[in-house]
Amino acid sequence: MNIKNRTLYIADNLNIMRNIDPEVIDLIYLDPPFNTKKQYKAPIGSKAEGASFKDIWTDEDVKHEWYGEVAEQNPELYQVIQAAETLYDKSMKIYLMAMAIRLFEMHRILKPTGSIYLHCDSTASHYLKLIMDSIFGKKHFRNEIVWERIKGAGKTSQHSPRSWGRSSDSLLWYSKNNEHQFNSDAIKAPYSEEYLAENFPQQDSKGRYKRRSPFRPPGLGARPNLCYEYKGFIPPHPSGWTVSKSKLQTIDNEGGLEITPNGKIHRKQRPDGMIPNNIWTDILPTAGNERTGYPTQKPLALLERIIKASSNEGDMVFDPFCGCATACVAAENLGRQWVGIDMSESAEVITKLRLQDEIDKGTDLWNPIEDITVSRTPPPLTHPTPETQIPINSLFNQLTPPDYSQAELQAFHSHKHRVYGNQEGRCNGCKHPLPFRNMTIDHIRPKSKNGTDEPHNLQLLCGACNSTKGNRSQKFLIDTLEKQFIR
């Protein structure tokens, strides 16, 4: 792959991701802006002093060609994003477009066995789930994890509350396919003493246990090979014992069988730890020395649980919105490789300080200040660019002369994306919204009237409008449509 471990990019993550080789990332965690319509800034004197970002979305945050790219690659997703403006507001549409164009790249660079965790809150979680369903596939949705980020009652006021408090975030977990990694043993947590006392009431020299039958339920059918005598005990049903005789002997030798005074035999089931469900209330907000002052910092314990569950040692963890580098620090401590991206120049200082202060270096002798690679340019390209991956649309054959170079045709295709966004997916003649593939690129001023191939002279028309216009002027088309009451 064309990226290396311990690299921090200070740049727009879209530009970096478009140069990363496909299917090289094992785990993606992203904590992007939430569309809160707020400006965030770290306090003076904190470790993160100088870090800031805006979570206010305007037309300046998207490029018109992104609308065309999404409309071509996923017409249904384009419709979802367009609908967000009607259901919510324009800023939501812009935010979702900015996220979608980046999530396309995250899907491309994720390994087939990889997972992605998108951190969000109730502002846009339901919209983002539609985006993720569309890009990663609804069948690859694994879970929505709810993390209790605030303990206690929250802010108080002299006025009576008029709604429930908001104290949780969501993490949308998707996999690339059904072969994703999930290391359940790595994230087991011990049971509480109350739970152990109630559910594992017996004790011996090895600790607590509860009794369970060593025999298989009769409904499982006859198993002659599991019907045998052991220490004078014979299965009461033809379904037999739960294990073979040699395995039962091993369990007995390890103290896993119990014969009670009333002459009954039991297996001892010991507590093996608890796998967390999707409601995480045991991870506390960032506090103490871990706190950097970064306005949206997440606790190390949160990232450690995700990384332990969905990656193995040596895997590549990727955070495209790394902020104060919590995912990078957690990955380093857990023996994973990592790459992070952030727009803020302060990310370099925060990342190096945190890695210097908070990682357990062990026997891996390296210097976080000197050995982290910091880059402001994309990695060297070793795969086709997105433009060359897109087949040249046959509609370009209408342009004259017919001997355009491949590069020129690709440029026209890029212009088609941009024009589709400019026209908001509507034909520039009848103004009807149409899928990207049903649009024809056309000259506003025809070539026969000295029209050029410059971008400002290109438009998109539906097939009917293009046929009506022919090689005549745009004014002719509009006049014709108005006479026909179509426009």
Q: Using the predicted structure, report yes or no on whether residue 431 has a pLDDT greater than 90.
A: yes
Q: Using the predicted structure, report yes or no on whether residue 399 has a pLDDT greater than 50.
A: no
- Which stretch of 51-60, 215-224, 407-416 has the lowest confidence by average pLDDT? 407-416
Task: Reply yes or no: is the peptide bond before residue 391 cis, omega within 30 of 0.
Answer: no
Q: Please name the residues in contact with 193: beta carbons below 8 A apart, sequence gap of 6 or more.
A: none
Q: Using the predicted structure, report yes or no on whether residue 462 has a pLDDT greater than 80.
A: yes
In the block, tokens 């440029």 appear at 411
pLDDT at 362: 56
pLDDT at 156: 60
- What whole-number distance in Å separates Cα of residue 73 and Cα of residue 284? 41
Q: What is the pLDDT of residues 277-305, one digit of tens each?
A: 999 999 998 888 888 888 889 999 999 99
User: Would you say 99 and 135 are in contact if contact means Cβ atoms under 8 Å apart?
Assistant: no
Percent of the residues in the chain that have a pLDDT greater than 90, as a whole number:
68
Q: What is the pLDDT of residues 132-165, one digit of tens each?
A: 999 999 999 999 999 999 886 555 667 777 888 8
pLDDT at 71: 94
Identify the band that residue 401 occupies on the pLDDT scale cut at 50, 70 and 90: very low
User: Hey, what domains does the chain have and what are their CATH numbers?
Assistant: 7-151+165-187+276-375 (3.40.50.150), 193-269 (no CATH), 387-483 (1.10.30.50)
pLDDT at 397: 45
- Which stretch of 121-125, 157-161, 391-395, 478-482 has the lowest confidence by average pLDDT? 391-395
pLDDT higher for 403 or 91? Answer: 91
- What whole-number distance in Å separates Cα of residue 44 and Cα of residue 233? 74
Q: For residue 183, count other CB atoms closer than 10 A to its CB.
A: 13
Angle 228-231-236 (CA atoms, 0-180°, nearest 5)?
Answer: 50
User: Would you say 372 and 346 are in contact if contact means Cβ atoms under 8 Å apart?
Assistant: no
pLDDT at 391: 44
Identify the band that residue 378 occupies on the pLDDT scale cut at 50, 70 and 90: very high
Per the structure block, which two tokens stand in for 427? 């034909």
pLDDT at 19: 95
Q: What is the mean pLDDT of residues 210-228?
A: 95
The amino acid occupying position 430 is C
Per the structure block, which two tokens stand in for 122? 């109730």
Angle 177-179-183 (CA atoms, 0-180°, nearest 5)?
Answer: 125
Percent of the residues in the chain that have a pLDDT greater than 70, as a whole number:
90
Q: What is the mean pLDDT of residues 97-121?
A: 97
Closest CA relative to residue 117, chosen from 26, 51, 5, 20: 26
pLDDT higher for 475 or 415? Answer: 475
Identify the band that residue 240 occupies on the pLDDT scale cut at 50, 70 and 90: very high
Q: What is the pLDDT of residues 28-60, one digit of tens each?
A: 999 999 888 888 887 877 777 777 788 889 999
Helices 326-333/346-358 angle, 10° precision: 30
Q: Using the predicted structure, report yes or no on whether residue 363 has a pLDDT greater than 60.
A: no
On whether the pTM is more than 0.85, the answer is no
Identify the band that residue 360 occupies on the pLDDT scale cut at 50, 70 and 90: low
Per the structure block, which two tokens stand in for 460? 């998109």
User: Would you say 291 and 297 are in contact if contact means Cβ atoms under 8 Å apart?
Assistant: yes
Q: Using the predicted structure, report yes or no on whether residue 385 has a pLDDT greater than 90.
A: no
Q: Using the predicted structure, report yes or no on whether residue 395 has a pLDDT greater than 60.
A: no
Identify the band that residue 400 occupies on the pLDDT scale cut at 50, 70 and 90: very low
User: Would you say 188 and 275 are in contact if contact means Cβ atoms under 8 Å apart?
Assistant: yes
- Which stretch of 95-109, 160-174, 205-219, 293-307 has the lowest confidence by average pLDDT? 160-174
Q: Using the predicted structure, report yes or no on whether residue 101 has a pLDDT greater than 90.
A: yes
**What's the mean per-residue pLDDT of the chain?**
89
